[in-house]
Amino acid sequence: MGIVAGLDSAPDFTRIVVCDSDTGAVLRQGYAPHPLESPEGGRPCDVDPQAWLLSLGEAAGGGLLEGVQAIGVSAQANAVVPLDAQGSTVRPAMVGADKRTQVAAADLVDALGGREAWAQAVGCVPQAPQPVTKLRWLARTEPDNARRTAALLQAHDWLVWQLLGRPARRTTDRGGASGTGYWSAATGAYRPDLVELALGHQAVLPEVIGPADAAGTTPEGLLISAGTGDTQAAAFGLGIGLGDAVVSLGASGSVMAVHPEALVDQHGMITSLADATGMHLPVVTTLNAVRTLRGTAELLGVPDLEGLSELAMKSTPGAHGLVLLPYLEGERTPQLPHTAGTLTGLRRESMRPEHLARAAFEGMLCGLADALDVLRGRGVAVRRIFLLGAAAELPAVQAAAPSLFGAQVVVVQPADYAALGAARQAAWALGVSQGALDPRTPPVWQGPVAQVLEPGEELAVGQAVRRQFVSVREQTHPGAFG
């Protein structure tokens, strides 16, 4: 069919991949940091969206997009761009996990009648990063700006709109809409009343178009696909389908899986997102993943995670009886926001650095296995697990993960899967527009380069370690999972 491009506007940079639309082979790449100044080295919570356009232009320099027929856009989730009646930004975009909005999240939960009411309404309970929560903060803290806000876009919506020359029609996709807190993946409809609850009045919301639909065509004839959030784009770029889950190892952790229907969780542990294909992408998050490893390394005086992994490999499964409940920042799965971590099983023979190192890896992975079990308990099939993040390369993670998760683990080669997913979406929209692809079936691209790990003979041992962790968790926090 031709050549397509996918751009991923991350919090700190823009990356562009140019791909063969039939195979997904990467032909060219571009990169540019956002021209942002972070106060005291921290990531800003307020960003001028023009910075995204400037880095996009720089990343696309040198003829990178020559011959490209369609572009897909992925961008950071949870970024809100408030517009006035003329389409100008009312204030800088509100991005990221903004701690300023934590009180606003609690206010919204109470205002609608509790966590279950939100789960039933839109499939998620307000959290500090979500757009609906940021609107509540805006109304309470900057009432003049809230009153001027006439329309709302997310980051990928705004970029698509700019690429198309700011037309009267503004669009989004199911994936991006499902993370706002005012669109339901179960019903496929907005809840304008929740916008009013948060912002104090109604606002114009972008039209939700289908996964294979085009948002429009630029004056130069370049097709722009629907775009989506970075989570959905990464899942699409990986090529995951039914039976697949993705476990992401960041400071915090997340588990997501493809499912044919939206899941409503009255406890609010599942965030019911839509994916970029017409399916659903339930997500469960933990507050403690790699931060558990870093804290343990600091405690033991180990300089880096590679050293901690090497130390852990000197121990054995079960860490000589040590069990670490890794709730260092409190925890969201299970809902223990005010708790702390717990170390049990201390005996003279277990009080060695290598056993504590092993317990940290096992505790982190068992916490993520708890999150997997939340999805499994709702009927989500998990036969293969993609493990993402730099920590996935650590030998101690790879040695323990398959048997603790009880499934095949796939460790993919690092790549910008969000940009690849955006490019694959562009190829889909282009193929549909040419009559070459079915709008119900995305193009089949070559899968990622990966290492496949099987539980094998270690499965029984791993499951025994897992049961030990669950036993300690139940004794320490009885009924934490209801």
Q: Which residues are catalytic?
A: 230
Q: CA nearest 278: which of 188, 207, 375, 167?
A: 188
Q: Is 430 helix (H, G, I), strand (E, B) or coil?
A: helix
Helix 50-59 to helix 155-163 angle (10° resolution) is 60
Q: How distant, in Å, are the alpha carbons of 163, 360, 401, 464, 470 from that of 364?
A: 42, 6, 10, 16, 13
- What single-letter amino acid sits at 235? A
Find, among 421, 419, 385, the residue nearest to 402 by Cα: 385
Q: Name 15's bridge partners.
A: 8, 31
Asked if residue 324 lies in contact with residue 363, where contact means CB atoms within 8 angstroms, the answer is yes
Residues 194 and 171: their CA atoms lie apart, in Å, by 19
Q: What is the dihedral of CA 162, 10, 374, 366, to 10 degrees?
A: 180
Angle subtended by helix axes 102-112 and 115-122, to nearest 10: 80
